[in-house]
Structure 1
Amino acid sequence: MMISKELYQERARALEGMSLSAVWDVCCPNTEIWNDKFPFEKRKAFFFELLQRLMEDGKIKLAKHDQFLEGSTEEQIERYKKAFPKTEEEWKAKHEEVWFFLEECPGGAVWVLESGYLDWT
């Protein structure tokens, strides 16, 4: 586990209502290091761990074209991992954070607020 309980809680609060590109933007456990200095593979691992925990805690659902993705959290994360750019070079070729809005991205975040309201990003 790369993400401590305290860091997870801080990020979950700060990111509520944000798109997955914003989640990607904070995928470094050390706020003293800029994301572009944090190795791409570690950043991906952090992103997927954070996303999975947010989903398991019921804070986020994934959706595409106004439909929630089917399958377990693990299956959805696996689908995301398969679609995600494999290398930093591929990531940059996809114009980085723009990838989250491309058709090849499996889905975006829908935040489930405490009131039950679904905040589609």
Structure 2
Amino acid sequence: MNRERFEYIRDGIEGMELDALWDYALEASDFFDEQRQFFFMILEKLIREGNIRLIHMHTKVPMSGTAEQQIDAFMKVFPRGAEEMNGGLWFFSEECPGGSLWQAR
């Protein structure tokens, strides 16, 4: 993905929760595995570039660990199919380990 496309997505979801990123993943492919891969590629880039920090969904405390460790925590519990994703509602469920805290640019 080129820089321009990444910035377009970043600007489109800035200040929003992770389900907004999932909407872009849905546009990227018709296949769940490819959507999942796209989601994590952008999420990792957002974390590494300091655009967001992942926070625990209910306590709002920043998640510990490196960007890779935080992504791994999400990947372990991430839905394996569209049915489990439930139209993006998974991001607001007890199973979701966290949400996004946007950092000022």
Q: Return the TM-score normalized by structure 2.
A: 0.90
- Aligned to 1:26, the other structure's residue is in SS state helix
Give the share of equivalent positions with the same residue, in percent: 35
Structure possessing the higher radius of gyration over alpha carbons: 1
Q: Give RMSD over aligned pairs.
A: 1.5
Q: Which amino acid aligns with 2:51?
A: K
State the number of aligned residues.
103
Paired with 1:81 and 1:66, the residues of 2 have a C-alpha distance of 20
Runs of 4+ more than 2 Å apart: 87-91
The 5 Å alignment of 1:1-121 reads 3-27=1-25, 34=27, 38-64=30-56, 65-91=59-85, 95-114=86-105
Paired with 2:21 and 2:101, the residues of 1 have a C-alpha distance of 12
Q: Which runs of 5+ in 2 are unaligned?
A: none
Paired with 2:89 and 2:76, the residues of 1 have a C-alpha distance of 17
Paired with 1:76 and 1:42, the residues of 2 have a C-alpha distance of 20
Q: Which amino acid aligns with 1:112?
A: Q
Indicate if the aligned counterparts of 2:84 and 2:90 stay in contact, CA closer than 8 A.
no
